[in-house]
Structure 1
Amino acid sequence: MTIIKICGLSTPDTLAAALDSGADMVGLVFFPKSPRCVDLDTARFLADQARGRAAIVALTVDADDALIEDIVAATRPDLLQLHGHETAARVAAIKARFRRPVMKAVGIASAADVAAARDLAATLLAQADGEDRILLDAKPPKDAALPGGNGLPFDRNLVVGLDLALPFMVSGGLDPASVAEAIRLVTPWGVDVSSGVERAPGVKDPARIEAFIKAARAACDDGGDARGKVA
């Protein structure tokens, strides 16, 4: 079964929509420039709502240890998503300190970026126990304020048949109308959506969340990938 992650959730109602529709992972964003950013008190409440029903993912961008420590204390996440310029050494240091698996985002715009993702996956696997993940996202424009969540796709043909040392998710420009094709074409371990299920930047739409998850599940039933599930 392809893992489905709904990222950038910020209210109890939209989180409930994701959980009730069967999301496997829910993402909380801790990046002040993002319209999806939540404070620690809100995040604590949402994490308690989600716990036991979906894996909790805490997204940071080049965060220092103090911020990550506060996030881990507030939300007790199952996974730390690193969406900045974190090096493999920084990823290893975060894992060693916070005892959480990570999902490292890699921006994709060319074959060279895919090669970089392959090298990173191999390095992370060698450093740890194989619990880490890679997220393949569209590389943001040079003038973009956000490293992700921009609603931009990348050329999926770049990653058709891709075999990384670690399981990978695909993001970037996905929405209820496009997720099935992405699953069938790429057969990723998982898919990740944020802006594609919003009615405005940072404002999730419960109906779009439900439609996205239904479309992804239907693609799996029609022969999409089945690479296992995070406990």
Structure 2
Amino acid sequence: MRFNTEGLFIKVSGVTNEDDALFSIGLGASAVGFDFGPSSRAISPAEAHDVVRRLPTGAISVGVFRNEMPQRIVEIANTLGLSAVQIDGSITQNALGYVAERVNTVLRSLPSTANLDLVRPPVGVDYLVMPEADDHDSLVDCLGLFADLTIRTPIIASGGLNSSNVVDVVQNYPVWGVDVRSGVEVSPGVKDPVLLGQFIANARWAYENPYVERHRDEWPS
């Protein structure tokens, strides 16, 4: 199921505490993401649950899982009342289908080396998140895929984004949304309010001043 959002979708990932989550949403982010796999930004389901239930109405919560069992993904998502799950790493088609049938929305992250067969995902994937790696080189490698209008699934650009390069990506490529992690941090899992505010403001400005057509109306709902 697609999100009911307008304008540019902005997700702040690697959120580890309530203050950063509420501040992100307050500044205009559409969603916050919680890392449940091995990560320097990992948060436990119990800790995330306390944050999720304090989010304002309309805020989107995304659980990020890497190489996790599908039953565990579904259990955490439904127990916490998450809006969506994001699947990193490897997963079989059967496992992906199992998750998609039992949660509201599925985001699938892919590496910059993904071929077109992967980029045109199977039934059950609502959004693509690319690249999976959080670095600028991987982001650059994905620019050609961002520009490929034959890809019918909305793409959320990620990987090495910051308040400077997000302008170029949003203005020049028909991405549906952006996902920031390390580019707005003072240390892993600790967001910088100034950097976060700059990122969101610049991303929204770029969306309102595009150099490309976005083809949003053509994306199937």
SS of 2:19's partner is: helix
**Normalising to structure 2: TM-score of the pair?**
0.85
Larger displacement relative to structure 2 (72-81 or 212-221) = 72-81
The 5-angstrom pairing of residues 1-231 of structure 1 reads 1-31=7-37, 33-96=38-101, 98-109=102-113, 113-120=114-121, 123-124=122-123, 128=124, 132-138=126-132, 148-149=133-134, 153-163=139-149, 164-223=151-210, 225=214, 227=216
Deviation at 1:151, TM superposition (A): 6.0
**Structure 2 CA distance, aligned partners of 1:73 and 1:101?**
12
Q: Deviations over 1:114-141 (max 9, x none)?
A: 4133332xx22xxx5xx71111115xxx
Q: 2:4 is matched with which residue?
A: none
Q: What are the ranges of 5 or more consecutive residues in structure 1 without an aligned counterpart?
A: 139-147
- The answer as to whether partners of 1:136 and 1:168 remain within 8 angstroms in 2 is yes
Count the aligned residue pairs. 209
Larger displacement relative to structure 2 (218-227 or 45-54) = 218-227
Q: What are the ranges of 5 or more consecutive residues in structure 2 without an aligned counterpart?
A: 1-6
- The answer as to whether partners of 2:170 and 2:210 remain within 8 angstroms in 1 is no
**Structure 2 CA distance, aligned partners of 1:176 and 1:104?**
24
SS of 2:196's partner is: helix
* Structure 1 residue ranges, 4+ long, deviating more than 4 angstroms after superposition: none
**Structure 1 CA distance, aligned partners of 2:48 and 2:170?**
30
Which residue identity does 2:42 align to in structure 1?
Answer: C
Deviation at 1:16, TM superposition (A): 1.7
**Structure 1 CA distance, aligned partners of 2:215 and 2:8?**
5
**Structure 2 CA distance, aligned partners of 1:52 and 1:151?**
33
> What is the aligned-residue identity percentage?
24
